[in-house]
Amino acid sequence: MIKTCGNILLVDDNPELLTDPTKPTKHGDEVPSSLNHRPMKNKLPTGNHMYMKQIVTWLTIGLLGAGQIAFAADIVGTITFKGTPPPEIPYTPLMQNSSCAAMYTTTPTTHFYKVGPKGGLGDVVVFLKGVTGQSTGAGTAPVVLDQKGCLYKPTILAIQTNQKLIVRNSDSCVHNVHVTPKVPGNPMHNDVQMPGGADLTYTFPKPEKFITFRCDIHPWMFAWVSVFDSPYYAISDQEGKFVIKNVPPGKYTLVADHRKLGMQTAKVEVKDSNVTQNFTFHVK
């Protein structure tokens, strides 16, 4: 028998759960960049020295001829949270739905501010401002958005344009996936997904920040998917760490965007070694 996980919801005591509570963003101060320089190895192994020298010369000439000398480096950093995070909101309506509540022993809460034990801030979307037309999404592995315990997991995701986003239902109840992009060209979706039903697969052709995914059957369920037209982005982990891999040389504006705390930017320059750029979000 298929469970609907209920349609009766008592959410009046917690109206924020019915809305997409995006606060206005605020911009923080720019943080100066710092560069990590790797030591250069400038000695060849001894023995057959001349022979090795010839090989290196041939390789160099070959690469120059093919125009293939191109460095890339990672942009790495840590997002730190300073202050007291606002209280998370209990999913009270979830616990009033017997099928959903059966999956919990205590009332789950939102995780809008994922602050780690050392003050790292997770779920910050970090990306290179204005870098477009470089998507490798069509050839990149899909990203999975699961529905489990009557919640979306994870709630903050990022994909490239034309990269597959797979929406899964791991629950034993019906969900509906209601997707409401705002950028023209990105398709809206409103699909019912039965328990054990086939995965839904979505793609978005246009870059857009924080596309809202919600479930109309369980109106506390939200996820936000950002779409980038390049592979140069990352989401900070539970320790606040992020890595944007293989960035071509150049000067960039690096953006750290938290859905509740807003954006910060920093100028970075990528040469031939990794760049470290940290951000701090302050809340009084």
Q: How many Cα atoms occupy the beta-carbon half-sphere of 208 within 13 Å?
A: 20
Contact call for residue 258 and Cu ion (CB under 5 A): no
Question: Is 47 exposed, middle or buried (CB count within 10 Å of its CB: 0-12, 13-18, 19+)?
Answer: exposed
Closest separation between CB of residue 218 and Cu ion, Å? 4
Looking at 48-56, 87-95, 211-219, 229-237, which segment touches Cu ion (CB under 5 A)?
211-219
**Nearest C-alpha neighbor of 236 from the set 22, 23, 75:** 75
The smaller minimum CB distance to Cu ion, of residues 175 and 258, is found at 175
**Cis (ω within 30 of 0) for the bond into 154?**
yes
Contact call for residue 215 and Cu ion (CB under 5 A): yes
Contact call for residue 167 and Cu ion (CB under 5 A): no
Q: Spell out the residues 6+ positions from residue 161 whose beta carbon is closer than 8 angstroms to its own.
A: 135, 137, 203, 204, 205, 206, 207, 227, 228, 229
Closest separation between CB of residue 150 and Cu ion, Å? 6
Contact call for residue 217 and Cu ion (CB under 5 A): yes
Contact call for residue 151 and Cu ion (CB under 5 A): no
Contact call for residue 175 and Cu ion (CB under 5 A): yes
Let me know: does 261 contact 283? Beta carbons within 8 Å: yes
Looking at 48-56, 183-191, 194-202, 217-225, which segment touches Cu ion (CB under 5 A)?
217-225
Contact call for residue 218 and Cu ion (CB under 5 A): yes
Contact call for residue 209 and Cu ion (CB under 5 A): no
Looking at 125-133, 183-191, 214-222, 238-246, which segment touches Cu ion (CB under 5 A)?
214-222
Closest separation between CB of residue 216 and Cu ion, Å? 8
Contact call for residue 214 and Cu ion (CB under 5 A): no
User: What is the C-alpha to C-alpha distance for residues 102 and 113, in angstroms, rounded to an integer?
Assistant: 26
Structure tokens at 98: 């017997």
Interacting residues toward Cu ion by CB under 5 A: 175, 215, 217-218
